């Protein structure tokens, strides 16, 4: 049995990760602040079924105000999923939340991690947003990151901090750059959740730009598998990995697949392209494949079908 901490435990990816860890018999301390970036009631819903698990303990707190020294006493793995998410909301007034929750909180965690005697791994949830408009597609980890959003800047800064603490103090970090994660429990501000909700309410879905943008969509269970591998394999320490879905899809093609799933035409409302959105993303996952044994299992239609059933149950 491994003792783990998952930050952002009630979030979209965090809650799936906690579930998987409990399923394999680990002891999990979940930490979540339940911020109001989206409805905290949805986050509570994500983990309510885990309350009864004897191996799970939830701490409701801001990462910056916890006694990390004490918390990490016998912890072997930390999965740092907590972050202020969202590309479009990172401009303007909201930016302080991004520096606080993405950079400062990570630095506080790293400071404590460098003195944690039993810590074998700190898995950091990074993002494909660090690449921005990458010149090479699919994009590999060696390409110079050039974020095009303030959000991407803060996540890159946190990732660089992890590397500094690894090189100077031996903090055993691994960074995973997620590519457009989707599936049940997806945040309500994310595209597929919004699209399916609009379908249910018979509204036109908002499409930024011309719909010709491409994304590498990654199903949440594949992301969880990437985390578990990153936490256990010794060769992963100090490395950065892309975690992608294995296929790049044009947005209009995604909408056609959604129409097949829901069994009716989807109304589309084309609006101006959003600031900070990369035009194309595609993950080169050959490094993760080679070192982590990572292999995406869930194809887009199957994953979208699962998300559609979940969205229907959420709003029914």
At 143-180, the pLDDT tens digits run 999 999 999 999 999 999 999 999 999 999 999 999 99
**Assigned domain for 256 exists:** no
Q: Would you state the pLDDT for residue 247? A: 80
**Assigned domain for 189 exists:** no
**Assigned domain for 250 exists:** no
Quickly list H helices, 103-190.
Answer: 105-113, 150-169
Q: Would you state the pLDDT for residue 260? A: 98
d(CA 233, CA 213): 35
Which residues of the chain are under the pLDDT cut of 50? Answer: none
Q: Is 144 exposed, middle or buried (0-12, 13-18, 19+ CB in 10 A)?
A: exposed
Total structural domains within the chain: 1
**Assigned domain for 170 exists:** yes
**Assigned domain for 70 exists:** yes
**Assigned domain for 315 exists:** no
Long-range contacts of 227-230 (CB under 8 A, 24+ apart): 227/17, 227/79, 227/123, 227/176, 228/20, 228/21, 228/24, 229/292, 229/293, 229/294, 230/121, 230/123, 230/174, 230/176, 230/292
Instruction: Kindly state the DSSP code that residue 4 receives in the 8-state scheme.
Output: E
**Assigned domain for 25 exists:** yes
Q: Would you state the pLDDT for residue 272? A: 87
**Assigned domain for 261 exists:** no
Nearest to residue 139, comparing CAs of 175, 178, 174?
178
The whole domain housing 133 covers 3-182+219-245+283-296
- Report CA dihedral (244, 287, 229, 227) to the nearest 10 degrees: -40
d(CA 162, CA 209): 35
Q: Which residues are catalytic?
A: 151
Q: What CATH number corresponds to the domain at position 22?
A: 3.40.50.720
Q: Would you state the pLDDT for residue 60? A: 98
């Amino acid at each position: 049995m491994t003792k783990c901490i998952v930050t952002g435990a009630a979030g979209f990816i965090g809650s799936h990760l906690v579930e998987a860890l409990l399923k394999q018999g680990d002891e999990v301390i979940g930490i979540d602040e339940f911020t109001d970036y989206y409805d905290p009631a949805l986050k509570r819903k994500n983990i309510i079924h885990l309350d009864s698990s004897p191996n799970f303990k939830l701490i409701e707190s801001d990462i910056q105000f916890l006694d990390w020294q004490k918390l990490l006493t016998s912890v072997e793995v930390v999965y740092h999923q907590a972050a202020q998410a969202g590309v479009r909301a990172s401009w303007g007034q909201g930016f302080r939340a991004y520096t606080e929750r993405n950079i400062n909180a990570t630095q506080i965690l790293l400071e404590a991690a460098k003195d944690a005697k039993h810590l074998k791994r700190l898995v950091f949830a990074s993002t494909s947003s660090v690449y921005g408009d990458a010149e090479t597609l699919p994009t590999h980890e060696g390409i110079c990151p050039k974020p095009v959003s303030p959000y991407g800047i803060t996540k890159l800064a946190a990732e660089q901090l992890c590397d500094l603490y690894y090189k100077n103090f031996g903090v055993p970090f691994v960074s995973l750059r997620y590519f457009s994660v989707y599936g049940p429990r997806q945040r309500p501000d994310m595209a597929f959740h919004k699209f399916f909700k609009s379908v249910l309410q018979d509204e036109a879905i908002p499409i930024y730009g011309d719909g010709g943008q491409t994304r590498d969509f990654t199903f949440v269970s594949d992301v969880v598998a990437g985390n578990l591998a990153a936490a256990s394999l010794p060769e992963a320490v100090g490395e950065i990995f892309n975690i992608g879905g294995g296929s790049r899809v044009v947005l209009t093609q995604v909408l056609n697949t959604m129409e097949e799933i829901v069994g009716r035409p989807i109304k589309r409302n084309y609006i101006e392209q959003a600031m900070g959105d990369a035009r194309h993303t595609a993950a080169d996952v050959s490094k993760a494949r080679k070192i982590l044994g990572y292999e995406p299992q869930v194809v887009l239609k199957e994953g979208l079908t699962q998300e559609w059933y979940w969205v229907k149950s959420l709003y029914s």
